[in-house]
Structure 1
């Protein structure tokens, strides 16, 4: 991983008015709005020239934003705060004018645990109590400071386990989660789609809980925009936000599900397998072990005020995803300076979007 320079000689590439906007993304199911806006001409219709940049992971997105090699990106909801605070990088002004999606993550446990009789959280706790002296469980997360780590710790705590004392969390790149389950290096993980579906499809794991049930309504990915870009290219950023808001509406429409699968599976975009993309987009989620769940809120691209980067959403991010030292550096007055609901409002005015459908919470478990 390349860390951006932190010395006094660091020079960030300056934004260039009129140049194509460089928009980064990581190939996950929830990058869909960026692909849709580009492929269906939503950027072009708003007078924007946008260059999409597929990135290996969040460290790459962070570093390229810091260095000015990207103007904006599909990013975890805590990244704008982490950049402003200089967590692992040069402090960099960053704002979020749009929440791209809610939810989209899940906790997956290894198939070998199923063979031990573990079928849910309570049976995991019971097994852990019996095995306490023999070995410690190991769970994978994308980052120790991500929504995935918080969701996993929260789920484990509700099951009755102490994630700080009774198991070990390790950082593993999402594409390697399934192989590590199969090899026995991991007992479970929390990650975004499609990596849970990949592990389940390969027979390496089974889904124990989706993030829509662990923390209903939690923000997941945002449009992260460099502060300089938001200031110097204000009209372009509003247009960019409007185009992506329109794309979120497209992604939220059930009749567009198969076109999304087709787009995301293309090699020049996310190159993700069709069978692993469909569960999160449809809400009909194969859990493994001949079980299927219906989670209409598994991945929410647009519903109610889901896309609005409100101070309430910003407060949730600060409270749950930042450590105590970082939280102390973000007073309430700063929340609206990072999550820019004002820019979102301008974008929504341009397209007249005022979604009013509630979150469904009609989650059911089926046996097939």
Structure 2
């Protein structure tokens, strides 16, 4: 998809990392996540750039057309933002929101706007997300709910491809959206919106896109999969080097990839976001392609996504469904491919999400590993060993 977080795949091809591993990598640009899902299902592609929750939804049978899919690698952390129209920003600013990206104050101001509009008999604000089974949908709903709003009741949430979000904001079809870069920056630079908050503030160093692999292909081609993961690991290291940002922006801007101006790509890659006219803010962990085990497919990430599927009525919770979600993410495949390289191998396959308030050394084999901070903005934690209790607590909120 034409997004900044396709960077690892683009770089693996363009910088020769795939070729060096003996992989003939062909990249096919698509216009929607549904197209990518369907092309993987019918065998047009073997691997795909995909939203983190989508392979879980596939394996849970939430789509009529789906192939069993595994996730042997994540493609980075962070990268999303919530952008509102200029008119909505004026409303939330009048209720106390500041141009500082802080989720709590902005969310509470939005809640006051929503209540005021309801009292005036006005239609609910309409927010766009890129797919029902997306981190965007779940993190937006998490933020809104934690700030006192009821999604689908106080606000409308609709689905739209990310590249159409700025146009939808400009036309008035949307009042706000949650999407990846460069489409938030595009809305700001086109003068049609303001960035209100970011994923890196709602849940720091949280999961986003993954490498989705057809399970049958993965089983039948272990050497090819290992080689691909090694190539993507090299690409992640390259993408994480500040010295490569300008070249990376140039690669992504190509019409075959994101096809957008360099000025739309630079802010997200550098974490120096343009949040409004003449306003910038530094978000150091906005785009994390390599640090903090950014490519490791944590089973706790999979289970948090699953908990949100349950929370919003997309699937019923039971032990079998939880096991399916957990087993979709395959850290064993990541370890198999990258262990021989001497990279930092996390000692565990899951962790308590939201437990680290600062960068923290953690147990690992090979190289040393530092994780975090990874906190949720409302101070909660997600312990995958207490999944039932977490799901029950969210049902009560």
TM-score range, shorter chain: 0.7 to 0.9
The answer on whether the counterparts of 2:33 and 2:131 sit within 8 Å (CA) in structure 1 is no
Deviation of residue 320 (structure 1)? Answer: 2.3
For structure 1, the residue ranges without an aligned partner over 5 or more in a row are 1-25, 363-368
Distance 1:155 1:66, change over 3 A: same
Please give the alpha-carbon distance, in whole angstroms, between the structure 2 residues aligned to 1:330 and 1:279: 42
Task: Choose which of 169, 172, 177 in structure 2 pairs with 1:181.
Answer: 169
Task: Choose which of 340, 352, 365 in structure 1 pairs with 2:330.
Answer: 340
Alignment of 1:97-112 (within 5 A): 97-112=72-87
Which has the higher mean CA deviation after the structures are superposed, 215-224 or 312-321?
A: 312-321
Alignment of 1:131-150 (within 5 A): 131-132=117-118, 133-150=121-138
Which position in structure 1 is the counterpart of 2:276?
288
Please give the alpha-carbon distance, in whole angstroms, between the structure 2 residues aligned to 1:152 and 1:332: 22
Please give the alpha-carbon distance, in whole angstroms, between the structure 2 residues aligned to 1:161 and 1:98: 34
The answer on whether the counterparts of 2:126 and 2:174 sit within 8 Å (CA) in structure 1 is yes
Deviation of residue 338 (structure 1)? Answer: 1.7
Alignment of 1:137-286 (within 5 A): 137-286=125-274
Distance 1:324 1:136, change over 3 A: closer
Deviation of residue 329 (structure 1)? Answer: 6.9
The answer on whether the counterparts of 2:31 and 2:161 sit within 8 Å (CA) in structure 1 is no
Please give the alpha-carbon distance, in whole angstroms, between the structure 1 residues aligned to 2:276 and 2:374: 22
Deviation of residue 228 (structure 1)? Answer: 1.1
Post-superposition CA distance 1:111-138 (Å, at most 9, x none): 0123345333333222222221223211
Deviation of residue 94 (structure 1)? Answer: 0.9
Task: Choose which of 6, 17, 31 in structure 1 pairs with 2:6.
Answer: 31
Distance 1:193 1:329, change over 3 A: farther
Deviation of residue 151 (structure 1)? Answer: 1.4
Distance 1:347 1:300, change over 3 A: same
Which position in structure 2 is the counterpart of 1:22?
none
Post-superposition CA distance 1:314-360 (Å, at most 9, x none): 22222224545254374454455321111101221243322634446
TM-score in terms of structure 1 length: 0.86
The answer on whether the counterparts of 1:101 and 1:302 sit within 8 Å (CA) in structure 2 is yes
* 1:57 aligned onto 2:32: yes
Distance 1:230 1:185, change over 3 A: same
Please give the alpha-carbon distance, in whole angstroms, between the structure 1 residues aligned to 2:137 and 2:54: 14
The answer on whether the counterparts of 1:30 and 1:101 sit within 8 Å (CA) in structure 2 is yes
Please give the alpha-carbon distance, in whole angstroms, between the structure 2 residues aligned to 1:304 and 1:115: 37
Please give the alpha-carbon distance, in whole angstroms, between the structure 1 residues aligned to 2:308 and 2:250: 35
CA RMSD, 1 decimal: 2.0
* 1:115 aligned onto 2:90: yes
TM-score in terms of structure 2 length: 0.80
